[in-house]
């Protein structure tokens, strides 16, 4: 994890001018973010640095070119490279973690991972709370006390009815076990709404570079999150 000032006079990379001061800056940056091992750089461009640049570009390029242009995308991401926090309790198993790791360091400052895998039981807890507390009065008003009590008698056995009644008073909710979060295929990114568009842009870029992992579905949700899904 790092945050460096990265000023380049000319491009660095394969078949580039590779001014020694520029090469040293890139070398330091790549070491700081752990893309290359630590060693002393003489200012000469070498294969280790090239591989480091390619490793950075693999986050967002389907075919890395190994070139850092002045003011280009690679320089921009490198200059702001930073691992973002993951909120307590967020679960990112397997490929979800892999997807987050590709996206994470490119996200704008202020971003964090706010949700990943959610169990069906967690979803069920919220659904039951909607039924028993939040919307109890409305459900009774619409469906009647008798029907409410009958469903309430066994919430698990009557789950489809619980869902129908909660939705019937205007609350959108997924059935327990059915949402992409519960299938371990969705991640939510939190942060101020001012950076939502930048987050969407980053995820779309990463999705194009990892077609086999990210599905390309990216949503700016009204709960303050940017939601993306994996295949």
Partner 1 sequence: MRSFRNSLIRRLPTLAGALALGIGVASTALTGEPRPSAGPVPYFPLAVGNYWTYRCSVDGEHQFTKTVRLVSASARDNVQYFRAELRIKKDKPLVYYLFTDVEGHVFSVPNPSRDGSEPLITAAPKAGEHVGTWTVAGGERIDTPALKQVDAVRIENFDRDDPQITAERRMEWRGRYYARDVGLLVEADGLGGECVLTQYHVRTR
Interface residues toward partner 1, by CB under 8 A? 85, 87-91, 112, 114-116, 118, 122-123, 126, 129, 133-138, 141-142, 167-174, 179-181, 186, 188, 190-193, 217, 219, 221-225, 227
What SS3 class is residue 230?
A: strand
Tell me the chain's radius of gyration from C-alpha atoms: 24
Three-state DSSP class for residue 17? coil
Short-list 93, 82, 99, CA closest to 203: 99
DSSP class of residue 12 equals E
Closest separation in Å from C-beta 223 to partner 1:
5
Q: Which residue has the tokens 């295929």?
A: 185
Residue nearer to partner 1 on the CB measure, 11 or 180? 180
Separation between Cα atoms, residue 196 and residue 214, nearest integer Å? 18
Q: At what angle do helices 145-152 and 136-143 cross, to 10 degrees?
A: 120
- The DSSP string of 86-111 is B-TT-B--HHHHHHHHHHGGGSPTT-
Residue 213 CB, nearest approach to partner 1 (Å): 18
Residue number with CB closer to partner 1 (26 or 165): 165
**Would you call 226 exposed, middle or buried from its count of C-beta atoms within 10 A (0-12, 13-18, 19+)?**
buried
CB nearer to partner 1: pick between 12 and 139: 139
Nearer to partner 1 by Cβ, of 118 and 210: the residue is 118
Residue 115 Cβ, how far from partner 1 at the closest point, in Å? 5
To the nearest whole angstrom, how small is the minimum distance from the Cβ of residue 151 to partner 1? 16
Closer to partner 1 by Cβ: residue 151 or 180: 180
CB of 103 to partner 1, least distance (A): 16
């Amino acid at each position: 994890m790092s945050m460096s000032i990265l000023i380049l006079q000319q491009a660095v990379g394969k078949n580039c001018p590779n001014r020694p001061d520029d090469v040293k800056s890139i070398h330091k940056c790549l070491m700081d973010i752990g893309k290359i091992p630590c060693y002393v750089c003489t200012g000469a461009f070498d294969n280790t640095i090239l591989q480091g640049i390619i490793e950075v570009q693999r986050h967002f390029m389907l075919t890395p070119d190994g070139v850092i242009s002045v003011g280009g995308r690679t320089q921009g991401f490198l200059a702001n490279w930073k691992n973002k926090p993951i909120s307590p309790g967020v679960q990112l198993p397997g490929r979800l973690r892999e997807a987050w790791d590709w996206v994470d360091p490119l996200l704008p400052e202020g971003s964090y991972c706010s949700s990943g895998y959610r169990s069906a039981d967690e979803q069920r807890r919220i659904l039951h709370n909607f039924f028993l507390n939040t919307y109890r009065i409305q459900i009774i008003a619409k469906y009647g006390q008798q029907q409410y009590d009958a469903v309430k008698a066994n919430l698990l056995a009557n789950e489809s009815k619980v869902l129908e009644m909660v939705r019937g008073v205007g609350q959108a909710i997924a059935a327990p076990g059915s949402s992409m979060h519960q299938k371990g295929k969705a991640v939510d990114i939190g942060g101020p709404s001012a950076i939502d568009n930048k987050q969407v842009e980053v995820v779309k870029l990463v999705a194009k570079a990892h077609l086999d992992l990210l599905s390309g579905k990216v949503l700016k949700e009204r709960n303050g999150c940017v939601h993306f899904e994996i295949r």
